[in-house]
Each structure stands twice: as structure tokens, then as C-alpha cells.
Structure 1
Amino acid sequence: MPRIVRFHEYGGPEVLRIEEIDVAPPAEDEVQIAVKAIGLNRAEVMFRRNAYVQQAEFPSMLGYEAAGNVMSFGSTVTGFTKGDAVSVIPTLDMARWGTYGEVINIPARHVVMHPENLSFEKAAATWMQYVTAWGALIEQARLSSADFVIVSAASSSVGLAAFQVARSVGATVIATTRTNAKAAALREAGAHHVIATAEEDLVDRVMEITDGKGTRVVFDPIGGPAIAQLADCMAVAGILLEYGALSPDAGPFPQFAVLGKSLTLKGYLYNEIVGDNGILERAKAYISDGLRSGALDPIIARTFPFEQIKEATAFLESNEQIGKIVVTL
């Protein structure tokens, strides 16, 4: 029987168990995949720790991303043949369609035949980060070559993907990070400018970089008090896309900046993209083209074997990495 990762209670990496589980045949609209690589995401850590929008029903599977070969598919599925190399666009229910396992079933609309030049490891590190970044920056903010964009918490996989998506349209990337420890790596990954917020004045540096105009687009997963400071960095008619809440603290509403500069502050969710068939198809086309051309190239921080799933997710929680953590089978 295939090996599947499940957890029977909330907690740290130690609650993860590799178990032999019989995997059912794919439903009529599903594809069954023999997994070669799994991409890890912070959402899975939050889910396992009971700090996510979804709650577990024990024992629970988990996982959003994977890549492998098609084993079989349901009666209504078209466009795939046995053996095809495919990767998974995260679904909206990781407990039902978890990806931490040797064999998984995934709805066909979330399965992509990725470009042949892409390894399984990079394919498993692709879709969460690029769909999230593309949806915010291109689909919603309409980022262009005339724009500056602030990408905060920039060493995350989504932050690094945002660099590449922004560069693909010619925009200028301003990355923020707490200290200068990761500054060189962020420049190497594609940031035009890096601001260490614990060591430099964010607003002064942004205004210096933009000749006093500010940035039209901000892409932020932190929230809290940082929102008011980011609003002060923005240009007239700018848009701030808030896609996370890493800060546990509430912050003041920046009413004077919002009113004075006609700003838009928008909460942004990944499911706005994957929940709409038309938008999802645009995302697939844009990202596939970018992967094929090399404009988009997933950065992998480290790989672990499947047997070290606990160690891999512990490393994810350490925040030491720059890029994606991938588990291989």
C-alpha cells in the first residue's frame, strides 16, 4: 500500500506520521498521481497547528503541492494519458486532497502538464507561489513597466515569485526584510532594491528610490502596524494587497494616507484566483509560458527525502530558508 503522511492531533512536526493507507481509485473528475516531489507551504504548518482557516478531522491528510506521473483518471477527465508528467495547483481543501503521499487523487482542473524543461522538484515548487503572486500583481493590480512594487517578507517563496512576476512585465522591485542578513541573496534572486526595516527608515528609503513619488503597488503578508507605514510609502491612487496576517498585532487604520492619496487597501485570497475558471486558465497560461521561457524559475532552498518529512517541515518553520522546501520520493 502507498505511504501517506497523516496527523492524529494538532501539534508540531512530531505529530506527522508516515502510514500505509489504501488509496481509493480517482473519482470521475479526478486524476491519480504517482508522486515524485512535494512542495511544502506555511499554510500546512498552520493547518497542523490549528491556526488555519480550515480545521482538521482526525486522522487528517495535508499538503497543497506535488508533481509526478499520471497513474489513472476518472471517467469525465480528458486531456491526460497514463505516464504524463504533471503538477498540482493547490486545491481549496488540503484535508480532502492532501499531497503528502506516494499516491494522491486531485481534481483534474487542478492538475497541469507542466513544461518538459521543468524538473519534478521545481514543478512541485511552482503553483502556490506563482498563482498567488500573479493573481495579485497582474490580475488585480495590473502591474506594468512604469511601476515600483514593494514586496514585504520578501524571502518567502511567494515573495521571490513576486520578484520574477514583476520583472516579467518590467516593474521595479523593492524588497523589504528585517535585517541585512538576507539582502545579498534577495538581490541575487531578483530584487532591484532591498530595505532592511530594522536598520533603515522604510519611508525615507522608498521615497529616495522613487524620486519622492512612492510606490503604486504593495504586496504584503504581514499586516498589523506595518500597514500604516506601508501606506506612507505609497503613490497617489496606489493599491496595497494584503495576503496574510503574519503580525499578531492590530495596527492603526492609516486614514490620512488613504484619503489624501486615494489609496486602495485590499484583502487578497488565493481562492479568488483558483475559484474562477476563467482567471485560473489565464494563470495557467501565463505561468506555463513563463516557466517555458525561463522568466519564471522556482528557487529551491533545500530538498529532503520523504522519510524526513518531520525534519523538512521543522526546517520550514525555522524561517532560515530563502525559497521553497521540497520533499522527494
Structure 2
Amino acid sequence: MLNTITALAALLTPIEAETVPLPVRLPESAHIELMLTKSDRSDGGEWRQTDFRYDVILEAPDEDDMRTMTWRLQEVNSGDAGAFSLSDFDVVMTVDVNLTPIRVENFEAILVALRRVMEASGEHGLESGMAALAAMTPEGAALFARDATLIAQGQGTELYVGQDHMYEVEGALPWGGGSMTMLGIYRLENVDVAAGRAVVRWEMTIDPESLLAVLPSMTSALMSAGNADEEEQEDVLADMDEAIAGARLENRRECDYVIDLATGLAVEIDCVFRVLIEAGGERRERESLVRATQTLIR
């Protein structure tokens, strides 16, 4: 009887769950059609939307599994989805195995194109803005390849189904001035083998205290890169110190990724960003939506 009970107990012992690897598996060279829609609004106003269509060209990986990835802009329609983004131009990047940008290889050419756009629009602060951008390294510029980074964020995971994977990272700032703490959560919602799809959820919040603490040094580094004089920097920083005293800040990002099991590509991406700041009796809110699809052509 004891042997029988022991055998039954063994059957009832739960089997330890295993992680589900979702690596990116692509041909030596690949062509992806990317459809990208970016929308934003401020303080509950009207949404502004811009639609992009790209050819994404991936070259064969090198011995370190790094690839050259080119986002070649084919079409852009309507609206204005906010501030300058590298998505407005053709971009050549070095990416890792998950297609996360490591550096922007044609950053100097992008700066030349950006200057033409800003000159044509009569952009205020052209020289200081261009000087600040020119001070960035190609690796720093990769931080601004945010659309490519966002799409890759859901690729290459290895998670337990239905369990939160929480992590904390220190986010570098492109002009120096310290770093801020970012708190992230990954969750593999489900895996449908028959459909060949998995759903990954990713959430990120920036720790408000660390961001408020780094704002003055970040602003100083940015103004120095833009050739602002010392007196101007002191005035701006004094105003900032007063404004952020007792300020409340929220910065949250949430994305759902539908992953193709065969290739590991995020074939559907749906993201919501929200930034809220209350300071000096004023309240400002900015909301952004990013939706994209990736289709492997070859």
C-alpha cells in the first residue's frame, strides 16, 4: 500500500514549468515590409497621426551575430506625430540578434538631411539644436532609433507562460548627465502552437524620483552640447530647480506583441505611452500610440 501511495504522490507532484524561447530566426539576408502608425495628443486634445511604410533590409550576420539593418522609407502620409524622430529618414543601423539597434551608421547623413528640413521650415533654434545632435555618438544616436528599438523590445524573449518577469535597468542619457532607473515587466500571455503565434506583454515605468533627480544634469549636458553660454544655463537650471520642487511625474509604456513562432518576428505591435507631470500648479499630459506590423517578404 505504501508503494502505491508513493507512486500516486509522484504522479500528483507538479512538473516544473519550462520557459518558452522565442528567438529571432531569419534567413541570412531578409526583406521585411514594415507598416508603422504613430499618433499623439497633448492634454486631452485632438489626436495627430502619421503613417509610414518601410522596406527593412537585413544583411547576413557577422561572426558576432550582428547585422546591418536598413529602414528604407517608402511612403509617409499625413499629420505630425510630434518631435523629430529617426523614422522620418532612411536609417542604417547595426543591430543585435533580436534586431535591437546598437548604433546608427549613417547618423552624419541624417543630420545633413535634418538640417535641410529644419531650414525649410524656419525652425527656431536651428544652430543650437544641430550642435546638440552633432555632439552625440552613433551609439548615443541609437537611443533615438526608438521605433526600431520599440519593435525589437518584444523579440527574442524566453519566459514562463503567465508569469511576470520583473527587472530594473539604469537608462543612459544621450548627452550624459547621469542615468535614470527604469522598471520593466515582461509577461508571456499565451502560446498558440496551432496558430503559430505567441503574445508577449511588456511594460516599462521610469522611476519618477530618479528622473527628477537627473533632469538638471541632463538639461545642463544638453545645453552645453548646444553651445549655450554659462549664464543662460544658470538661469534655466534655477528655473528648473524651482519647477521640479514637489513635482509629480509619471512615465509609463505598455506594449503587446504578437510573435510569429516560425521567425520570432513581432508581426503585430500595439503600444501606449503616457507622460504626466504636475509642477508649479500646472498639469501637462502627453499620450502616444504606436501600432505596427512586420511582414517577412523573403
Asked whether the two chains share a fold, i.e. TM above 0.5, the reply is no
Normalized per residue, which structure has more helix? 1
Normalized per residue, which structure has more strand? 2
For the pair shown, which has the larger CA radius of gyration, 1 or 2? 2
Q: Kindly indicate whether structure 1 or structure 2 has the higher relative contact order, using CA contacts under 8 Å at least 6 residues apart.
A: 2
